[in-house]
Amino acid sequence: MKKIEAIIQPHKLEEVKEALIGIGVEGITVSEVRGHGRQKGHTEIYRGAEYTVDLLPKVKLEIYVPDSRAEEIIGVLSTAAKSGKIGDGKIFVSSIEEVVRIRNGERGETAL
Amino acid sequence: MRAEKGTKATGSEALVRRARGGCARLTLAAAILALTLVPGLAQEPKPDPAGIATGDKTTAVDAGGNSFVVAEPTDKTAPDYAQKKKDFDEYQRQAAKEPLAVKLADSVGHVRVATNFAWTLNTGYLVLFMQAGFALLTCGLVRKKNAGHLMMLNFAAYVFAFVAYYAVGYAFQFGAVAVNAAPMNLGGTPTLNHFILGSGLWGFLGGKGFFMAGPGYDAGSNVLALFEVVFMETAGYIIVGSICERISFWSFVVCELFIGAILYPFFGCWVWGGGWLSQLGNTMGFGHGYVDFAGSTVVHATGGFCAMALSVVLGPRLGKFGRDGKPRAFPAHNIPFVVTGTFILLFGWMGFNPGSTLGATDLRISVIAINTNLAAIMGSATAMLFWYWKFGKPDITMACNGMLAGLVAITAPCAFVGPTSASIIGILAGLVVCLGVLFNDHVTKIDDPCGAISVHGFCGLLGAISLGLFADGTYGVGWNGVGAASYLGQAGRGVTGLFYGDTKQFLVQLMGAAICAAWAFGATFIVFKAVNAVKSMRVSKEAEQEGLDVPEFGFLGYPEDAIHATES
């Protein structure tokens, strides 16, 4: 099993969600986050004083899937989230050891 | 707004022409003053900036509007000359016998004017507070990422539209208000008396009182100016609800200057400044001329159709319509703001409509206040039930839009109808706003984030037309100078709509409403299509995606959303 974690532009969320649902992804977890990658933040002026806006709003998606589906989902996700500009975000993939469905104690891929 | 209450005055009736207008209360007193006190009509009336020469026995009237002072009849050929002369002689005899009573009348007349000043100013302050309601309502209805931008637009609207109205808008709208009307309750000094376009009963644009100086530097004129500028601001705010979340600040400022200087004052002059639309009763025999008591069209439809044109020029927000053209929902980010804003607007409307009598001595104010509330609740109830029936759940933002729709629609007819008609008008408005929102989303594809086009544009037209249907003739005798004795062949009959016997009033209402929509949409579209061709009025795509707060103003509406490295 894999965990696919993607940090994307907030305005791409709808498109990404639609694309994932379109290929049968059943569950996603979304959180609003702020951060920055390689791009630099910029300076703004508030009442004459400078401050930097370097932590920009992003959306983080987490998806847990069987190994067999990971590549396909990564492909669809990166296509849907792409605008081609700096700040489009990243996708991180890691292995998951165990999944438990709390309601009935199911484990492994059947619990996904 | 505002024409003098029906009067049965016998003296100088021919001179009494009430214009409505935001103004215009017509004045018996002014006519008398002009005739008897001012030597030679060519001489300009003197402004009274200190307010110490405003209000005397000539402004003392009874509940029916009959003047204490009886003027000497001048037209010896008039059929009622003998009776008028007799009344005048009797008044002279009584005045000679009781000079103290005449002196006392000077105080009574002054207090009457003072009462009406205080009423008009205070209701104007209520209307001013509506700006806070609009700010909360529109801010709450948009997405969180644009909250700061919305507040800035609302704030800048008040500031820049006021600048334009102060410089030229007020003079364009009311610079000739004393030609066909004079603000009687507001002091009786007819200083604003010149059209720069047109003349007499065919006036198109006022021309006195620029920068509120000279003839505008007068206590009475300034009451009018305060009351009218906050009305103009309402139109200025309305557009925010349609053009938000994508318009750039510089182009918004241009929009506000255009509304305050040109768009609003032109149509306002025609209806409230003694202009040609208000005089169609005298010139073409159309009922009482075009009547809009407190501004369903002058204020709301003007703002609504201006908003519509701007929204067409700007185009929809990114992602509002999917590739298949299906509208997407961008839910409101703060429902408590929306509801609080709506209630502030309802509260402010208690100044907007009853205040448009321009005088507390016009006791119709209580009927107006009740009518206004009835239409508001009926509009909201209708919108809630319609949504409940159509979509299975009532929608709080539509319930709020429904209340505003009822308020907008009752604004023109509020003084001329009874409670049943007010309720029906509210119900119709509730339906119009629901259908209007769905129509814009699904048919015209004009993006209207806060429903301003439906609430103010469509329901504004409904208001003017419903006056032509439901006005029951109990109020508005002699409105716009239409003969109090001869109208519909009955003495003492007020403004009357189709259902009560005057087809022509209905026709002129239809025409006035159509002209309002065509003017507001057409003029705005032409001007801003050109502006947009020179330089795009929209913010960049990236700014729109990020939210306009930081790209446009360098701050966030909700700074707690940002994590600043400098914070401890």
Which of B245, B320, B549, B550 is the mutation pick for testing A, counting most A CBs within 10 A? B550
What integer pLDDT is reported at residue B539 of this predicted model? 97
> Could you tell me which chain B residue has the CA closest to the CA of A35?
B563
Residue B238 has pLDDT above 70, yes or no: yes
| Eight-class DSSP state of B245 | T
Contact B545 A46 (CB under 8 A): no
Residue B203 has pLDDT above 50, yes or no: yes
**Strand pairing of A49-53 and A42-46?**
antiparallel
The mean pLDDT of A11-40, rounded to a whole number, is 87
What integer pLDDT is reported at residue B561 of this predicted model? 64
Q: A14: which chain B residues are within 8 Å (Cβ-Cβ)?
A: 319, 328
Tens of pLDDT, residues B326-370: 999 999 999 999 999 999 999 999 999 999 999 999 999 999 999
Residues of B with CB under 8 A from a CB of A: 145, 318-319, 328, 542, 545-547, 550, 554-555, 561-566
What integer pLDDT is reported at residue B484 of this predicted model? 75
Q: What single string gives the DSSP state of each residue in B145-174?
A: GGHHHHHHHHHHHHHHHHHHIIIIIHHHHH
Residue showing tokens 């907008």: B408
Tens of pLDDT, residues B212-234: 999 999 999 999 999 999 999 99
Contact A52 B565 (CB under 8 A): yes
Enter the tokens of residue B355: 């205040």
Lowest mean pLDDT among B66-80, B90-104, B125-139, B259-273: B66-80
Q: What is the mean pLDDT of chain B?
A: 89
Interface contacts (A, B; CB < 8 Å): 33
pLDDT band at B531; cut points 50, 70, 90: very high
Which of B541, B555, B560, B561 is the mutation pick for testing A, counting most A CBs within 10 A? B555
Q: A85: which chain B residues are within 8 Å (Cβ-Cβ)?
A: 542
Q: Is A94 on the interface with B (CB under 8 A)?
A: no
Tens of pLDDT, residues B5-37: 333 332 333 223 333 333 333 333 343 334 334
Q: B319: which chain A residues are within 8 Å (Cβ-Cβ)?
A: 11, 14
The mean pLDDT of B386-391, rounded to a whole number, is 97
Contact B318 A14 (CB under 8 A): no
Q: Is A31 on the interface with B (CB under 8 A)?
A: no
Taken in order B439, B443, B444, B450, the sign of the CA dihedral is: positive
Closest partner residue to A34 among B328, B550, B563, by Cβ?
B563
Which of B318, B560, B566, B567 is the mutation pick for testing A, counting most A CBs within 10 A? B566
Contact B565 A45 (CB under 8 A): no
pLDDT: which is higher, B57 or B565? B57
Residue showing tokens 């609302």: B154
pLDDT band at A26; cut points 50, 70, 90: confident
- Please state the ipTM of this predicted complex: 0.80
The mean pLDDT of B535-562, rounded to a whole number, is 89
Closest partner residue to A55 among B319, B555, B563, by Cβ?
B563
The mean pLDDT of B522-529, rounded to a whole number, is 98
Task: In whole angstroms, give the CA distance from residue B258 to residue B265.
Answer: 10
Closest CA to B265 of B233, B238, B309, B242: B233
Q: B547: which chain A residues are within 8 Å (Cβ-Cβ)?
A: 57
Task: In whole angstroms, give the CA distance from residue B318 to residue B538.
Answer: 11
Q: Which residues of A67-90 are buried (b: 16+ CB within 10 A; e: fewer)?
A: eebbeebbebbbebbebeeeeebe
* Shortest distance, CA B154 to any CA of chain A (angstroms): 20
* Shortest distance, CA A99 to any CA of chain B (angstroms): 33
For A:33-72, CB contacts with B below 8 A are 34, 44-46, 51-57
Alpha helices in B165-301 (DSSP H): 170-174, 177-180, 219-238, 240-243, 249-258, 264-272, 280-284
Helix (H/G/I), strand (E/B), else coil: A58: strand
Which of A42, A50, A53, A54 is the mutation pick for testing B, counting most B CBs within 10 A? A53
Q: What share of chain B has pLDDT > 90, as a percent?
A: 76
pTM, two decimals, is 0.89
Are A82 and A9 in contact, with CB atoms under 8 Å apart? Answer: no
**Single-letter amino acid code for the residue at B76:** K
Tens of pLDDT, residues A32-87: 998 877 766 778 888 888 888 777 889 999 999 999 999 999 999 999 999 888 88
Contact B554 A9 (CB under 8 A): no
pLDDT band at A13; cut points 50, 70, 90: very high
Burial (Cβ within 10 Å: 0-12, 13-18, ≥19) of residue A62: middle
Contact B546 A57 (CB under 8 A): yes
Q: A44: which chain B residues are within 8 Å (Cβ-Cβ)?
A: 550, 554-555
Residue showing tokens 């037309």: B465
Tens of pLDDT, residues B243-275: 999 999 999 999 999 999 999 999 999 999 999
* Shortest distance, CA A73 to any CA of chain B (angstroms): 23
Task: In whole angstroms, give the CA distance from residue B13 to residue B82.
Answer: 15
The mean pLDDT of B181-189, rounded to a whole number, is 60
What integer pLDDT is reported at residue B188 of this predicted model? 64
Which of B245, B321, B324, B545 is the mutation pick for testing A, counting most A CBs within 10 A? B545
Closest CA to B566 of A14, A52, A22: A52
Closest CA to B95 of B62, B136, B148, B57: B57
Closest partner residue to B555 among A10, A46, A85, by Cβ?
A46
> Could you tell me which chain B residue has the CA closest to the CA of A83?
B542
| Eight-class DSSP state of B290 | S
Residue A98 has pLDDT above 70, yes or no: yes
Residue A89 has pLDDT above 50, yes or no: yes
> Could you tell me which chain A residue has the CA closest to the CA of B552?
A44
Contact A57 B565 (CB under 8 A): no
Enter the tokens of residue A69: 């589906």
* Shortest distance, CA A3 to any CA of chain B (angstroms): 27
What integer pLDDT is reported at residue B183 of this predicted model? 53
Closest partner residue to B545 among A11, A44, A51, by Cβ?
A11
Contact B318 A51 (CB under 8 A): no
